[in-house]
Amino acid sequence: MDFVNIAKNAKESSLKIAGLDVDIKNKALNALANALEEHKSEIFAANKADLENALPFVEEGEISKSTFNRLKLDENKMRDMVQGVRDITNLEDPIGKILLKRELDKDLILEKVSCPIGVLGIIFEARPDVISQISSLAIKSSNAVILKGGKESVNTNKKIMEIIHNALSDVEKFPDNVIQQVFSHDDISQMLKCDEYINLIIPRGGNKLVKYIKENTNIPVLGHASGICHIFVDKSAYIDDAIKITVDAKTQYPSACNAVETLLIHKDFDKKDELLAALQLEEIKLEMEPESWDIEYGDKILSVKIVDNTEKAIEHINTYGSGHTDCIITNDLANAEKFMNEVDSAGVYLNASTRFADGFRYGFGAEVGISTNKTHARGPVGLEGLTIYKYKLYGKGQIVDDYAKGIKKFNHRDL
């Protein structure tokens, strides 16, 4: 089937799922979670084949170590995948929520109501766990989705999608073609041209992929190009906090987009040498004079800079950061508030690891990605980020001409 027909089917299914009862959506999600758990050995086998196929390319430098790490599925990732789907089942239905109710005049009532975006096009690299996250969020938010994964994870992607399709096909009244998958590079080109049917593109990958997508489509794009995250250690910081937070943010999962890449240290922080020594003991390579301040290492490498004060730290982050997630470690609440108010990022943290920037950890169940956009969704994007709204106006024969002539007047009273 060519891509246009796939997109047409997605559009048709998006209109059907838009009015689907939440009980049916939750049945679909429970079926999906159960199926993933039941067939996880098949998924691991498919993933093992992908890892074996990718290994020579890692050794030759064609696939990065961080990409290879993202590709690997283990028991922990599988547990989080299944739990993420179950958590979404337990969340409130994001569709049909009344966001505003206003009486324009007697018997003329305006409502602002949440509704699905429609059809989502998801392009991702080496992240097979994305499929269950996106699929479950799409189902709960009543959107249809077309997924395009990286070639390095093709076996895992196909197996997960097969399991999802089989699970959903057994759910009574659940529409066909809500979750679809494409595979070829040409499908990406076709997806980016398909603005007649696709409402939003969400890329999950590196800077090169996101840049290419933004430059080659008229469809709105939601995502982030890079994760240049910072930690600023203020002069009043406790050394134990500075060590454990920075170590976690750099080493817990170095290839993640929310891992810290630059450490800024106040010039008057008197435990600087102790901090740097502790980081080196964790096998973190410190770059005191990096080639650039906007490098996303994706590895146990950390740029380090000494700054004069909080203002200089903020200035550095707003100049070189990617607007993803940045943290201040301090015991000075005034400095903390200044930092968190003036750093222009989707996430600004006080005394907490940047690795918390995640939809699962935020209680969203899962995420479609992290957005540094300044549009309707920013930061980890969960269910609410996959909804938009419509206005419903309930009247009893009113016409504008009566108001234009002054026969009637608006009262604009919120209900």
Q: Is residue 135 part of a domain?
A: yes
What's residue 61's pLDDT? 81
Angle between helices 129-140 and 154-169 (to 10 degrees): 30
What's residue 9's pLDDT? 97
Could you tell me if 85 and 62 lie in one domain?
yes
Q: What is the DSSP string of 220-246?
A: -B-S-S---EEEEE-TT--HHHHHHHH
What's residue 224's pLDDT? 81
Q: Is residue 108 part of a domain?
A: yes
Q: Is residue 191 part of a domain?
A: yes
Q: How far apart are the first and last CA of the chain?
A: 50
Could you tell me if 240 and 100 lie in one domain?
no
Host domain of residue 343: 229-356
Largest CA distance in the chain: 79
Report the alpha-carbon distance of residue 236 to residue 269 in Å, rounded. 7
Residues contacting 403, CB < 8 A, separation 6+? 105, 409, 410
What's residue 414's pLDDT? 97
CATH number at residue 212: 3.40.605.10
Could you tell me if 334 and 211 lie in one domain?
no
What's residue 64's pLDDT? 80
CATH number at residue 282: 3.40.309.10
Q: Is residue 278 part of a domain?
A: yes
Residues in the chain: 415
Instruction: Enter the pTM of the model.
Output: 0.87
Q: Which parts of the chain sit beneath pLDDT 50? A: none
User: Do 89 and 30 touch, CB atoms closer than 8 A?
Assistant: yes
What's residue 105's pLDDT? 97
Q: Is residue 412 part of a domain?
A: no
What's the structural domain count of the chain?
Answer: 2
Could you tell me if 152 and 52 lie in one domain?
yes
Could you tell me if 385 and 328 lie in one domain?
no
What's residue 344's pLDDT? 97
Could you tell me if 211 and 233 lie in one domain?
no
What's residue 210's pLDDT? 85
Q: Is residue 403 part of a domain?
A: no
